[in-house]
Amino acid sequence: MATDSAQQVTLPLLPLTAGVVVPGMVVNLAVESSEARAALDAATGADDLVVLVPRVEGRYATVGTVAKVEQVERLVTDDPSRPGRAVLVRGLARATLGAGVPGAGSAVWIEITTVDEVSPADERTEQLATEYRAVVEGILERRGGRRLAQTINGITDPGALADTAVYSPDYSIEQKVEVLETLDVTARLEKVLEWARAALAELSVKEKIQSDVTDKMEKTQREYVLRQQLEAIKKELGEADGDDVAEQYRTRLAEKGDVGEAVHTAIAREIDRLERTSEQSPEHGWIRTWLDTMLELPWGHRDADNLDLVEARAILDADHTGLEEVKDRIVEQLAVRKLRVERGIEAGDGTTRRGGNGAILTLVGPPGVGKTSLGESVARALGRQFVRVALGGIRDEAEIRGFRRTYVGAQPGRIARAMKEAGSMNPVLMLDEVDKIGADWRGDPSAALLEVLDPAQNHTFRDHYLEVDLDLSDVLFIATANVLDTVPAPLLDRMEIIRLDGYTEAEKVAIARDHLLRRQIEANGLRPDEVVFPDDALEQVVAEYTREAGVRGLQREIGKVLRKTATKVAGGTAPTPVRIDEAALRDALGRRKVFYEVAERTTVPGVATGLAVTGVGGDVLFVEATASDGEGGLQLTGQLGDVMKESASIALSYLRSHAGELGIDTAAFEGKRFHVHVPAGAVPKDGPSAGVTMTTAIASLLTGRPVRSGLGMTGEVTLQGKVLPIGGVKQKVLAAHRAGLTEVALPQRNGDDLEDVPAEVRDAMTFHIVAEARDLLALALEPAPAPAAA
């Protein structure tokens, strides 16, 4: 039968259940089923032609292969009554299957249309064929089939090349049927190329894994043989040292001096275990790791404190501007230590005779005020080692207490590791970001800190890995936090809170001049004599480009200016020294970023300026109120918390019930729906201190009298109009000062808190102490306009 052009013929169907035959393929088939025998018998009346059709999962493929029966042989079977036959067939052409038709004998006859396969001569097909040859060659080389790869390279027809995929053991019968059914040669090449790439990648990974495993096994075996030979050689020379490792640990233990009876007993017991444990046992390595950790801890070693109070205060003042409360507390700690040594309560080497010498200070304040850097300064002033433990984001209790030795890869907790790193039993240990500790199913790290930060317990702190008491009573703990809301109450009870509420503009200029400028000049490769950064330029950066409690943003802005300056100096485009003036600032930093918008925002009735405390310090908070016709009610927007929503309801209820005495027309409430909004809607807000601000904003709306533009306020309000005290007065006042406000209204019971506000801020602002909401409204609202003359 000719196959060079498509034609319709009727041939007997021979089903294939275990493979696929494609054109050009010569294969032996075992004919066992009655259906296959009938097809073979019928082939003699059809020019020895059959159509081979794969059958997968009970269905026939849609495309078969016209094949010629070349040879038939008998097979010996277990059942003599049903002899088997083996047939040699050669695939000639693909054929699409049509309907079954009646035919001679019991065979299944089917109409087929042969497919004229013409391989396209386009560039895409040639590229696919070339890449497929290369990928298949790579697969065969990895399997030792180099001669077969040469055969593949000799196939020039793209269609025949793609059909070689049916020979691969990597593909399933379903994939091979898919190759048979894909009549388009280019599509067939794309399909088998994708499969071949995946097979090559899998072989590469297996080959790498096998290579790594083999290399590791060879290395382990080689080391074992060498160790055995080394031991044999030493034995022959009389230099066997099977117990030298244990003796080395005993020597190190003796050199440590007095480590305490319990610690000495525990270490000696583990050294004895090490002697009895084979070097081939995993436990041998675990014991040595534990011994190394124990012997690296500074048992009994303490740094002598610098007891010169004047020198310590000078170091603190040189490192940090402001922060007087913290500096005073450190000097007090040092003074107590000095008296204890002079009066025999403690030994001069720092060993406590009676009572502990540790302290737990917690620095709370917004980012950038110098909490973390203050720890290093304190350690330098005291003459102690400094070590920092970052607690932000940890969720595992074992990070504090250590991992038990039963676990593979166990290690001490962060506290014990910090003591080892410090090399002293009385370091300054900073617990950074203690307010950002998490908790999950692995435990609560803050609960483990309860023992660490309790002076009554931490002299016997027990790490799960060490399994001996670790004395933390002489450690000076300094914790840092941005807010205290997330710190558990029992942990907070063990801390001495010191608040760092931020800096005034004058303090920021001084910090920039004395610390930040020098640091940034060095960081940008400049010399101090190459740039002049006067105070008025620093003041402009502080006032026009930053509004923050700390100085981190200020440091970034100074860095931008100095990078511009470094570019000019390096390019030789500016003579030195370069003076930083207003034009240089505009060139480096662009237009002004911070504006005083309070006066603009409060020009219309219904807007009041409040003060709030956030995780980044104090801030100014605007409250806007409006009313519209409709069913009465109150709508609140701005992502407010429950407490703040209640404050708005209280404010409206107070004004409605006291409208007469406040000079508000009761008709203004009728048929009105009030809407209170706090801008910056993407930021969650909560707390009671905005109560007076909401009351003032609604009262301003109802009376038509704007709120005085230079006035900020804070305080909680009750249904009876009482103004209750709030927290964070210093941060709020500093925020008001940064925002350009000149007056602040505070609750009466917060009047004494103004002593914490820097004197320069107190002198620049006017403070109003109020006890009743009516007094605040009389103060805050602009006078009512005089009635027009008739």
Query: What is the Cα–Cα distance from 181 to 172, expressed in whole angstroms?
Result: 14
Which residues is 552 bridged to in the sheet? none
Here the tokens at position 246 are 């244990």
Phi, psi of 478 (to 5 degrees): -125, 110
CB 774 within 8 A of CB 661: yes
> Could you give the 3-state DSSP secondary structure of residue 212?
helix
Tell me whether the omega of the peptide bond preceding residue 577 falls within 30 degrees of 0, making it cis: yes
CB 66 within 8 A of CB 1: yes
> Could you tell me the maximum CA-CA distance found in the chain, to the nearest angstrom?
133
Please pick, among 377, 424, 446, 689, the residue that the annotation labels catalytic: 689
Residue 689 annotated in active site:
yes
Q: Rg of the Cα trace of the chain?
A: 44
Nearest CA-CA partner of 392 in 361, 438, 453: 438
Report the first-to-last Cα separation within the chain, whole angstroms.
119
Query: What is the Cα–Cα distance from 627 to 516, expressed in whole angstroms?
Result: 50
Residue 560 annotated in active site:
no
Here the tokens at position 506 are 């004058």
Please pick, among 176, 371, 672, 732, the residue that the annotation labels catalytic: 732
CA angle 522, 544, 735 (to 5 degrees): 105
Which residues is 548 bridged to in the sheet? none
Query: What is the Cα–Cα distance from 498 to 495, expressed in whole angstroms?
Result: 9
Phi, psi of 725 (to 5 degrees): -70, 160
Instruction: Quote the DSSP letter at residue 659.
Output: T
Here the tokens at position 193 are 């190329």
> Could you give the 3-state DSSP secondary structure of residue 5?
coil
Give me the DSSP letters along 686-711: --STTHHHHHHHHHHHHHTPPBPTTE
CB 580 within 8 A of CB 532: yes
- C-alpha distances (whole Å) from 449 to each of 271, 278, 348, 414 are 31, 39, 29, 11
Give me the DSSP letters along 281-321: SHHHHHHHHHHHHHHHS-TT--PPP---HHHHHHHHHHH-S
Instruction: Quote the DSSP letter at residue 179.
Output: H
Number of other CB atoms surrounding residue 355 within 10 Å: 11
What does the CA dihedral 496, 501, 505, 507 come to, rounded to 10 degrees? 0
Nearest CA-CA partner of 515 in 476, 542, 489, 551: 551
Q: Which residues are catalytic?
A: 689, 732
